[in-house]
Amino acid sequence: MEPHWHARKLLTIIAEAALERALVAEVRHAGALGYTIAEVRGAGQAGERAGDWEGERSIEFRVVCDEATAGVIADRVMGRYARDYSLVLYLSDVQVRRAERFT
């Protein structure tokens, strides 16, 4: 491994677009420094989300941070929104440059 790579976690949340503002707030609250959002479509246990009009958009929300921060975000999102919204969360290992940009 190159010495200037630093280990971080990538937390990915796939959610209804209605949750976008709430997710941004959670990420800020937990102290993560940034996030990336993409519009996606797909299907899961709760059915298909074709994203073909504004009422049915889904987003993929990505945060790179340390494991503790990812845990805080995931716990709060699960606690607040998992009951009423379709959510997918997963955590993966990533290597980043410029570690100071990620908590």
Partner 1 sequence: MNLDPVIPFLLLGILARLVKSDLRLPEALYEALSVYLLLALGLKGGVELAKHPAAGLLPQVLAVIALGLVLPLLAFAGLRRMVGLDRPNAAAIAAHYGSVSVVTFAAGVAWLETRGIAFEAYLALFLAILEVPGIVVGVLLARGLRVGAGFGPMLREVLTGKSVLLLLGGLAIGALLGPAGLKSTAPLFVDLFKGALCLFMLELGLVTGRQLSQLRRSGPRLVVFAVLTPLLFGFAGAALGNLLGLSVGGAALLGTLAASASYIAAPAAMRVAVPEANPGISLPIVLGVTFPFNVFIGLEVYHAYAVHLAR
Catalog residues that contact partner 1 under the rule CB under 8 A. Answer: 16, 18, 21, 39, 47, 50-55, 81, 83-85
Least Å distance, CB 24 to partner 1, is: 13
Residue 84 structure tokens: 């009423």
Given a contact cutoff of 8 angstroms between Cβ atoms, the answer to whether 7 and 102 are in contact is no
Whichever of 22 and 99 has its CB closer to partner 1, that residue is 22
User: Please, what sign has the CA dihedral across residues 26, 57, 79, 37?
Assistant: negative
Whichever of 7 and 18 has its CB closer to partner 1, that residue is 18
Q: State the Cα–Cα distance between residues 22 and 31, nearest whole angstrom.
A: 14
Whichever of 14 and 65 has its CB closer to partner 1, that residue is 14
Whichever of 13 and 70 has its CB closer to partner 1, that residue is 13
Least Å distance, CB 32 to partner 1, is: 21
Least Å distance, CB 53 to partner 1, is: 5
CA-nearest of 79, 72, 76, 93 to 7 is: 93
Q: State the Cα–Cα distance between residues 44 and 16, nearest whole angstrom.
A: 12
Least Å distance, CB 72 to partner 1, is: 21
